[in-house]
Amino acid sequence: MSLSVIWSHLKEKGAARTISIMANRIFDCHFDFKYKTDTINRISLQDLTVAGANKERGSFYQPTMALSFNRLLKAIPLPPESVLVDFGCGKGRVLLLAVLGGMKKAVGIEFSPQLCRIAESNINIVEKAIGARLEITVIEGDVTDYEIEDDQNVFFFFNPFDDVILEAVVENMKKSLQRKPREVAIVYYNPVHSHIMAQHFLLKNRYIIGGEEYVLYSAC
């Protein structure tokens, strides 16, 4: 973490949460060291090739902290036969953590071809390391075009795009739940546009884990 980022965290989140974030970022290095994957480095959208009109509505790539995500999975009530969708999956770290943590399957949607290839490579590396195939799929495309499947019941967002795109994805989620009512867990990490989620889903809990905020919603 750069000094400017640390200073920003100190002003926004205080000393205790900032120290926790720094400790978790150090653990992130352990994840890549253990599996020889590439999930750490932050990447600006300006450095990525993205097809379509929504590039300017996306956010830069930054990985979800591995240690805090693992703790989150143990803390939240997950629906049975959990199938996760990561909207804006980047290099695939959450997909890997979800399945390695016991979820049945994980699907990532990502509009950057470069990030999709890196995510696929990371998945292959981990599969070779553990000697088993993982039920993970990476789909290259715009999240607004993705049709949510009936068995998908855990939805993850790491502030991946602006409010316009989030509104469109929320509408797709609602259509899926109207078509196939089911128990779902919606996890919003760094919930910048939480007001949108709150308009459509039931707030279940807020968690500060590893110094970062996660908000859990369910279907109304």
Q: Look up residue 214 and give its two tokens.
A: 């996660």
Tell me what pLDDT residue 220 has: 81
Tell me what pLDDT residue 52 has: 60
Looking at the structure of the chain, the number of domains it has is 1
Strand ranges for the chain from DSSP E? 83-87, 105-110, 136-140, 154-158, 185-189, 202-209, 212-218
Q: What is the pTM of this model?
A: 0.87
CATH code of the domain covering residue 169: 3.40.50.150
Compute the CA torsion angle 195, 197, 199, 204 (nearest 10 deg).
Answer: -100
- Reading the chain (220 residues) residue by residue, the pLDDT tens digits are 555 555 565 566 667 666 666 777 777 778 898 999 999 877 877 777 766 665 566 666 788 889 889 999 999 999 999 999 999 999 999 999 999 999 999 999 999 999 999 999 999 999 999 999 999 999 999 999 999 999 999 999 998 888 999 999 999 999 999 999 999 999 999 999 999 999 999 999 999 988 889 999 999 8
CB 109 within 8 A of CB 131: no
Q: How many Cα neighbours within 13 Å face the side chain of 7?
A: 3
Instruction: Please give the angle made by the CA atoms of 84, 111 and 164, to the nearest 5 degrees.
Output: 85
Domain of 93 in residue numbering reads as 3-218
The residues, any chain, with a CB within 8 Å of residue 173's CB and separated by 6 or more, are: 148, 155, 186, 200
Tell me what pLDDT residue 202 has: 98
Tell me what pLDDT residue 201 has: 98
Tell me what pLDDT residue 73 has: 94
Q: Look up residue 168 and give its two tokens.
A: 């469109």
The amino acid sitting at 55 is K
